[in-house]
Amino acid sequence: MIRWIAFRLNYWFGALGRRVAQIIGLILLAVFVGLVATYYVLKPSVPESADLWKINRTPAMTFKDSTDEVIGSRGGLHTKPVRLTEFPEHLRLSFLTAEDRRFYDHGAIDWWGVLRALFVNVKQGQIVQGGSTITQQLAKNIFLTNERTLVRKVKELILARELEKLLTKDDILELYLNRIYLGAGAYGVEAAAQTYFAKSARDVTIAEAAMLAGLAKAPSRYAPSSNIELAQERAGIVLKTLHDEDVITDLQYILALNNPASVFNRSISGDINYFLDYVTWEVDKYVTSPDVDLVVYTTLDRYLQTKGEAAVKAIIDDEAKARLVGQAALVSLDTNGAVRAMVGGLSYRESQFNRAAQAHRQPGSSFKPFVYLTALEQGMKPTKVYQDAPVRIGDWQPQNYSNYYRGRVTITEALQYSINTVAVRVSQDVGMENIVATAHRLGITSELKANRSLALGTSEVTLLEMTAAYVPFAKRGLSADQYAITRIETENGDVIYQRVAPQVVRLFSRRVADDIGHMLYQVMYQGTGKAAALADRPAAGKTGTSSDWRDAWFLGYTPDLVTGVWLGNDDNSPMDHVTGGGLPAKIWHHYMTAAHKGMAIAQLPGAFPARDVATDKELRDYLADLSRQFKRVKRRPKGRRRSSGFWPF
Identify the three-state secondary structure at position 594. helix
Average pLDDT over residues 429-441: 98
Model confidence at 577: pLDDT above 80: yes
Average pLDDT over residues 139-166: 72
Average pLDDT over residues 281-290: 84
Model confidence at 607: pLDDT above 90: no
Model confidence at 37: pLDDT above 80: no
pLDDT band, very low/low/confident/very high, at 403 (cuts 50, 70, 90): confident
pLDDT, residue 494, reads: 92
Model confidence at 629: pLDDT above 60: no
Model confidence at 543: pLDDT above 80: yes
Model confidence at 608: pLDDT above 90: no
Burial of 634 (0-12, 13-18, 19+ CB in 10 A): exposed
pLDDT, residue 468, reads: 98
Cβ distance 529 to 523 under 8 Å?
Answer: yes
pLDDT, residue 232, reads: 93
Give the DSSP per-residue string, 206-250.
HHHHHHHHHHTT-HHHH-TTT-HHHHHHHHHHHHHHHHHTTSS-H
* For the chain, percent of residues with pLDDT exceeding 90: 59
Average pLDDT over residues 561-569: 98
pLDDT band, very low/low/confident/very high, at 15 (cuts 50, 70, 90): low
* For the chain, percent of residues with pLDDT exceeding 70: 79
Model confidence at 447: pLDDT above 90: yes
pLDDT band, very low/low/confident/very high, at 72 (cuts 50, 70, 90): confident
Q: Which residues are catalytic?
A: 99, 365
Of residues 421, 419, 612, the one with CA closest to residue 526 = 612
Of residues 538, 537, 542, the one with CA closest to residue 556 = 542
How many CB atoms lie under 10 A from the CB of residue 589?
24
Q: Which fold has domain 77-258?
A: Penicillin binding protein transpeptidase fold (1.10.3810)
Rounded CA gap, 645 and 649, in Å? 12
Q: Write the pLDDT tens digit of every residue in 327-386.
A: 999 999 999 999 999 999 999 988 999 999 999 999 999 999 999 999 999 999 999 999
In 362-431, alpha helices (H): 368-377, 411-416, 420-430
Instruction: Work out the angle between the directed axes of helices 368-377 and 432-442 (0-180°, nearest 10).
Output: 110
Between 107 and 498, the more confident residue is 498
pLDDT, residue 141, reads: 77
Of residues 128, 610, 110, 111, the one with CA closest to residue 382 = 610
Of residues 178, 188, 238, 181, the one with CA closest to residue 213 = 238
Identify the three-state secondary structure at position 274. helix
Which residues are bridge partners to 181 per DSSP?
Answer: 187
CA dist 10 → 25, 26, 29, 292, 455 (Å): 14, 17, 20, 69, 99
**Beta strand ranges found along 22-171 (DSSP E):** 60-64, 70-75
pLDDT, residue 613, reads: 35
Model confidence at 43: pLDDT above 60: no
Report the mean per-residue pLDDT for the chain.
85
Cβ distance 367 to 456 under 8 Å?
Answer: yes
Looking at 1.10.1500.10, 3.40.710.10, 3.30.470.30, 3.90.1150.10, the CATH number of the domain 307-595 comes to 3.40.710.10
Which segment, 215-229, 277-291, 298-312, is predicted with the most confidence on average?
298-312
Model confidence at 393: pLDDT above 70: yes
Of residues 264, 85, 114, the one with CA closest to residue 177 = 85
Q: Which strands, in side-by-side order, build the sheet including 551-557?
A: 339-343, 327-334, 561-568, 551-557, 540-545
In 533-615, alpha helices (H): 583-595
Which residues fall within 8 angstroms of residue 422, CB to CB, at 6 or more apart?
A: 386, 387, 388, 409, 411, 414
Give the DSSP per-residue string, 293-306.
-EEEEE---HHHHH
- Which of 38-42, 369-373, 531-535, 601-605 shows the lowest per-residue confidence on average (mean pLDDT)? 38-42
Give the DSSP per-residue string, 3-42.
HHHHHHHHHHHTHHHHHHHHHHHHHHHHHHHHHHHHHHHH
Long-range contacts of the stretch 446-453 (C-beta < 8 A, 24+): 446/360, 452/393, 452/394, 452/396, 452/424, 452/427, 452/428, 453/396, 453/398, 453/424
Which residues fall within 8 angstroms of residue 256, CB to CB, at 6 or more apart?
A: 205, 206, 207, 210, 239, 248
Model confidence at 565: pLDDT above 90: yes
Average pLDDT over residues 566-588: 97
pLDDT, residue 134, reads: 83
Q: Write the pLDDT tens digit of every residue in 107-134.
A: 667 666 666 655 655 555 554 455 588 8
Average pLDDT over residues 148-166: 73
Q: How is the chain split into domains, by residue range?
A: 2-42, 77-258, 307-595
pLDDT, residue 186, reads: 85
CA dist 280 → 58, 181, 275, 490 (Å): 15, 21, 9, 15
